[in-house]
Chain A
């Protein structure tokens, strides 16, 4: 083997060993060179990786969109079938309601009862006993209308009663505020569990069917009572709202 080859190999080996032993200086040299020369290519490759990832994500989202579209079609079919069956059975069709936003100007708590004062737009017609909802669920009902101001009696009010059903087991009950929200009228053997969602039952003609109200937080079954004590947590934060929505019948 040529002498020059041995010398070159020795030099390379020596350089490698020096880099390896003085690890920090080697890293600094590497980082410096990488930063100035190779970083732009690295960035380009990272962008390429990002592009590939974005494409994969896009494909996944496309698949999801198609699946959801199919599901939507299926649900539309079910809706049409439901309407047809209701018509055959002679059910009274629930009127479609308009959503009327109103601005909350004050929230009052009187003796543990929460009342909201809201301001509506001029010339919009709002009558008492119309249901009021928030982004997540039921707030209460309109109690009084004075000029452009509304007094809303929330579900956190001792005078409010809301007929609800458990969305899972369809067990019926009445919600009542007693410092906290309680569900009454459920027998000890009633099928209610912690975590069940309560929705309005449509009974009582104030609240339309199917509005989410709250979730069951605790169920106590005392053998001496004839009904279970059920604590409910409302979906809406009743102590703070910026705007709420009135469901107006057209």
Chain B
């Protein structure tokens, strides 16, 4: 059941990211809901399955943007791998732990979104116009999701 829900979530989130981005983008910044999914999925799932899901999701995203095939795989799996590595060192119940999400979102966007091939200046500008605002959006969305998850867990108790 848990796997089924995760797959449904993955499909929905991928659809939101890949198909409906034009309707969800804020100030021309892509929302990248998949980062949120991977972040929370990694916290709640066994490390190995989280890593495999990250790799598979990256592959899926690469299919849709085949110009730099493999980039999403590397970015997503690295993000999840670092999160797994930090698992025992962070108090995930605290809101401050969302800094990991912010850093992860920043990293993924830095790898995926910055047009390094277009020269230093363009890359540098896009860090401030795309990467940083995107990471902030992810952080805020993560905050909302965390509040929702915490409240549902409290109600369950």
Contact = CB atoms under 8 A, between A and B. Distances in A.
B55 A1 contact: no
B71 A5 contact: no
Interface string B33-62: 000000000000001100110110010001
Given A16-B74, A16-B77, A20-B74, A31 B66 contact: yes
A12 B77 contact: yes
Query: Considering the complex of A and B, which 5 residue pairs feature the smallest CB-CB distances, nearest first?
Result: A26-B69, A19-B70, A16-B73, A20-B70, A16-B74
Contacts of B78: 13
B7 to A, nearest CB: 15
Nearest to B87: A1
A33 interface: yes
Secondary structure of the A side of the interface? helix
A23 B117 CA distance: 14
B51 A16 contact: no
A32 B55 CA distance: 19
A12 B66 contact: no
Secondary structure of the B side of the interface? helix
A5 B47 CA distance: 7
B81 interface: yes
Interface string A1-12: 110110011001
Contacts of B58: 12, 16
Interface of A: 1-2, 4-5, 8-9, 12-13, 15-20, 23, 26-27, 29-31, 33-34, 38, 42, 45, 48
11 contacts: A4-B48, A8-B48, A12-B73, A13-B74, A16-B70, A16-B77, A19-B73, A20-B71, A23-B68, A26-B62, A26-B69
A13 B54 CA distance: 11
B6 interface: no
Nearest to A24: B69
Given A16-B70, A17-B70, A19-B73, A5 B63 contact: no
Given A5-B51, A26-B70, 19 more contacts: A1-B84, A5-B47, A5-B48, A8-B48, A9-B51, A12-B55, A12-B74, A12-B77, A13-B73, A13-B74, A13-B77, A13-B78, A15-B55, A18-B70, A20-B69, A20-B70, A26-B66, A33-B63, A34-B66
A18 B71 CA distance: 10
A30 B85 contact: no
B64 interface: yes
B66 to A, nearest CB: 4
B140 interface: no
Nearest to B15: A45
B19 A45 contact: yes
